[in-house]
């Protein structure tokens, strides 16, 4: 079922713990491989998915909800690692679920505000966002973002971060898309430290 709707890649030996990796715009499931280098040695499996995040949310969410159901049917502990707009979709899909930890990179946390700050907007998309807010989020949440994000302003995430007491790490001279060798090294070190810190708790 899942392979027909959203191609997946599963990395790591059988475990009771899994991370779902959700990419951002123009991303792909294979991005999960780099994260798996960090998570798998710590006892996690990693499930990467191809998600059509460029489509309307009412088209994307049913696919992600199917993945969500699959995760809780097959693993005892579910965590998430998401990028950019993938973070927003993840928050929507998992808001009523038990999530052990959430690692979000350059996340869109408030889509309503994100759209309002744009010069133009699609009314049907905006109306759906207004009518489908994220009403609850209880997972320990760790955020990595660049010092200056030209895609997602500080204003977009401020309320969510404050309300849910997210732990935020800033990379000086970073970019919304972490892709240079220096940025990727910083990202990997952050993932390592964050997962280790959470496991100690």
Structure confidence by residue, pLDDT tens digits, 99-114? 999 999 999 999 999 9
Return the structure tokens found at 12: 């790591």
What distance separates the 2 farthest-apart alpha carbons in the chain? 47
- The single residue listed with the structure tokens 């990796």 is 21
pTM reported for the whole predicted model: 0.94
> Tens of pLDDT along 67-96?
999 999 999 999 999 999 999 999 999 999
């Amino acid at each position: 079922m899942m392979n027909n709707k959203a191609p997946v890649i599963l990395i790591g030996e059988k475990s009771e713990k899994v991370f779902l990796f959700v990419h951002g715009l123009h991303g792909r499931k294979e991005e999960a491989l780099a994260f798996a280098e960090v998570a798998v040695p710590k006892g996690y499996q990693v499930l990467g998915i191809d998600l059509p995040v460029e489509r309307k949310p009412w088209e994307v969410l049913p696919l992600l909800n199917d993945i969500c159901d699959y995760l809780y049917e097959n693993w005892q502990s579910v965590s998430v690692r998401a990028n950019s707009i993938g973070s927003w979709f993840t928050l929507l899909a998992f808001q009523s679920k038990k999530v052990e930890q959430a690692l979000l990179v350059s996340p869109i946390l408030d889509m309503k505000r994100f759209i309002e700050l744009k010069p133009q907007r699609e009314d049907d998309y905006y109306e759906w966002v207004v009518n489908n807010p994220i009403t609850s989020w209880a997972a320990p949440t760790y955020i990595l973002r660049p010092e200056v994000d030209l895609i997602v302003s500080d204003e977009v995430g401020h309320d969510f971060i404050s309300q849910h007491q997210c732990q935020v790490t800033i990379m000086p001279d970073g970019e919304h898309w972490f892709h240079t060798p220096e940025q990727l090294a910083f990202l990997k070190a952050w993932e390592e430290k964050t997962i280790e810190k959470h496991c100690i708790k």
